[in-house]
Structure formats: structure tokens, C-alpha cells
Amino acid sequence: MSRSKGLLLTWMCLLLFSGSLQAGKVGNLYQSTVPVTGQDTNERSAAIATALTQVLIKVTGESRLEERPETRGLLSGASGFVQQYRYEKRSHPSPLPDQAPVDALYLHVQFDSNAINEALRKRGLPVWGDVRPSTLIWLAVEQGAQRYLVAADSEPGIVTELREASARRGIPILLPLLDLEDQAALSVADVWGNFRASVLKASARYQPDAVLVGRIYRQSDGLWEAAWAFYHDGNSSSWISSGALSSQVLAQGLEGTADLLAARFAPIGLSLSGGEFLLRVEAVDSLEDYARLHRYLGALQPIKSLTPDRITAGEVQFRVTLEGDYRILQQVIGLTNQLQPIAAAGGSASLEQPILPTLRYRLVQ
């Protein structure tokens, strides 16, 4: 047996005793909970279709999924994707003062992720993996004559609404600590005025992939309004949202964020035919390095199959089959600090053109 093949066999055996990669993943993409009034068959079927719609929006990143003709067959056959379901009772505060909490009934549904992914790909729709960019939210609130910033451990009502809205779209969010370091770096006025340089400088300590800046206030007619600015990868976008409830306005901020990120990481219309590539990684100097690299790559959604192809001193080459365009894989890898691209002229990982296209990276130690 050659030395290269012997190393390959040894390193593959090591994987059998290695844990799985969990960091940076979004959970609960394939489950949803919807309110119901009863447990009869017809209402359960309708609730399952609603739950599947919510799951498909999270998985594809497409907020107007119901309008797409490709999904009609999916939604009409929603029950066929169910793995399990259960009913839950939850208590909510009464809208009337001095009244006992009100019980409400919900249906929680877990869907088959593999079946959904296969169905989406057959219809040419994207599958946005569970490694997703994190967004740091700087939110300034005006109530009466007072303005303040929302921290991770303050304003539980607003924080809950932000987290629920982000969960509905599968978007990881961060909220600032607003400790002494934050207070020295950024003021309420900086966020209210959306002073980009100050905001991005103060954000650096959190190392987010994107930053969302918002200011929310109540207008004289009683409606809530918010102005949003989103920064990601050197680009910026802005929009206004309004509604009768603050929760609606906050949700619109997260909806806009999710739409912008999905357009980048799960674009509709990009080639989904996949293809075979070689992925060459340098600085793999030990069995532990190889095991970490293999676990990391094997957990990335765009990778359909991953086969070690060649091992030399300090370098491993994999034969990779992708679901979708290689640019999506480059973007997903760019969300983590595991691999550093060996840059081509354009600054992304070099895509060579030998017999098979080859992406080149260096393992970060």
C-alpha cells in the first residue's frame, strides 16, 4: 500500500471517533408551530399546510413562496412531509385587566428535511443551509421624549419580538451588551442618525456578518414607524416600515433583512444543477486537522458528497459534488473562520481550471 493511501485510510478511520460540527448552525428550520382552535382532521390538515409554508419560507429564503407556481403541489400534499406532530397548550396574558391568563391551543409539526430538500431541488428552488450569516441589531426606540437603545438583556418585550421574527425566517441575530465599552463607542444619537462609520466601528467587537440599524417611534396618528439600514459585505440597503403594532414594524425589519441575505446566499434562478469540483486545502498538518476539516465540510449544505482524493504533506484534496453553484459554497465558507481562501485576482478562493475545476483554501489554525 502506498504511503498516501495508508494516510488516507488512517485519517478516515479517525473520523469514526470524532464528534459533529455544531457551531454556527440555525436550528428548527424544518419545524413550525401554528395556532389552532381544535383537533379535528380538517383543521389539522389546514394547520399542517400553514406550518409547511412557514418552513419552506425559512428553508428557501423566499418570502413570497406561496405566489410561486412551483410550490402548489408541495402545499397541497403537505401531510406527506410530516414526520411527527403534537398539540400544545400555552398560556398568554389576558387582554383584560385583572383577568386570569388565557389558554391557547397550538399544533407543532416536524417535517422530513430530506424529503423537503429533494422536492425543492426538483422544482429548481434553493435550499438555504443551516450555516447562515449573523446580524447584529442596533435599535433605537423613542417613547415620548425619551430615546434609548435596546440591549440583549433589556426591554424583554422588544427583544422577544425580535427573536421571534428572526426565528420565523431562520436568521441568527445578535443584540449588543450596551456595556461601558459600547457606551463609550456609540451613543443613542449615533444609532438614531444612522452614522455608518460609528456604528460599524462599534460593531466590530461582535464580529457579525451583517449589521442592521433601526429607529422606531410612534407617530401622532398612533401608528408605529421604523427606519432601517442594513450593512453587509460593503453594501448597504435602507427601507421604512410602519404598522399599528410595534411587533409588526419590528417583524418588517427582520423580513427585509432575511430577504436581502437570501438574495445573496439562496438566490432563485442560479444554477441548481450542481457539479463536481476538486477542493484543495493546505495547512492540514495532523490527524486532528484532517478530522476537523472533514467534519466542517461534511456539515455544509451545498456539499452533496465529499470524497478524499489525495493526501500529501500538509495538503488534502477532496472530490466534491455540489448542490448548486460553486459560488454559494464560497459564500457559505466565507461565513466561518475555518478556511482562508488562497485568493485569485478577484480576492475570492482561486478557481483553477484543470481537468476538474479546483477551489483552493488554507485551514485556519
What gap in Å lies between CA 267 and CA 313, rounded to an integer? 38
Buried b (16+ CB within 10 A) or exposed e, 2-37: eeeeebbeebeeeeeeeeebeebebeebbbbbbebe
What gap in Å lies between CA 156 and CA 179, rounded to an integer? 17
CB atoms within 10 A of CB 91: 10
More confident call, 93 vs 50:
50
- Let me know whether 142 and 243 are in one domain: yes
| Residue 103: domain span | 31-122
Nearest C-alpha neighbor of 265 from the set 201, 206, 324: 324
DSSP string, 179-208: -HHHHHH--HHHHHTT-HHHHHHHHGGG--
**Could you say which DSSP state residue 17 is in?**
T
- Let me know whether 75 and 197 are in one domain: no
Does residue 128 lie within any of the structural domains?
A: no
Q: Which residues face 216 on adjacent strands? A: 141, 226
Residue keyed to cell 465599552: 181
Quote the mean pLDDT of the chain: 87
Q: Give how many domains the chain has, as a whole number.
A: 3
Cell numbers representing residue 193 in the block: 442618525
The bridge status of strand 146-149 relative to strand 135-143 is: antiparallel
- Let me know whether 203 and 237 are in one domain: yes
- Let me know whether 106 and 152 are in one domain: no
Residue keyed to cell 427583544: 159
- Let me know whether 166 and 260 are in one domain: yes
Does residue 127 lie within any of the structural domains?
A: no
Q: Among residues 95, 122, 149, which one ends one of the domains?
A: 122
Query: Is the distance from CB of 248 to CB of 254 less than 8 angstroms?
Result: no
Q: What is the pLDDT of residue 346?
A: 43
| pLDDT tens by residue, 141-152 | 999 899 999 999
- Let me know whether 161 and 239 are in one domain: yes
What gap in Å lies between CA 258 and CA 63, rounded to an integer? 9
Q: Among residues 79, 97, 122, which one ends one of the domains?
A: 122
Query: Is the distance from CB of 76 to CB of 48 less than 8 angstroms?
Result: no
Does residue 282 lie within any of the structural domains?
A: yes
Could you tell me the CATH number of the domain that includes residue 255? 3.40.50
- Let me know whether 92 and 143 are in one domain: no
Whether the predicted pLDDT of 232 surpasses 80:
yes
pTM of the model: 0.80
- Let me know whether 177 and 209 are in one domain: yes
Cα distance between the two ends of the chain:
30
- Let me know whether 227 and 181 are in one domain: yes
| pLDDT tens by residue, 13-63 | 433 333 333 334 799 999 999 999 999 999 999 999 999 999 999 999 999
Q: What is the pLDDT of residue 353?
A: 52
- Let me know whether 143 and 248 are in one domain: yes
- Let me know whether 81 and 156 are in one domain: no
Which residues, other chains included, contact 2 with Cβ-Cβ below 8 Å and sequence gap of 6+?
none
Residue type, 317: Q
Percentage of the chain lying above the pLDDT 90 cut: 65
Does residue 16 lie within any of the structural domains?
A: yes
Longest CA pairwise span in the chain (Å): 80
Query: 79 pLDDT band (50/70/90 cuts)?
Result: very high
Cell numbers representing residue 361 in the block: 483554501
Does residue 235 lie within any of the structural domains?
A: yes
Does residue 130 lie within any of the structural domains?
A: no
Does residue 291 lie within any of the structural domains?
A: yes
Integer angstrom CA distances of residue 103 from 25, 113, 266: 33, 31, 38
What gap in Å lies between CA 332 and CA 334, rounded to an integer? 5
Q: Among residues 265, 289, 304, which one ends one of the domains?
A: 265
- Let me know whether 150 and 255 are in one domain: yes
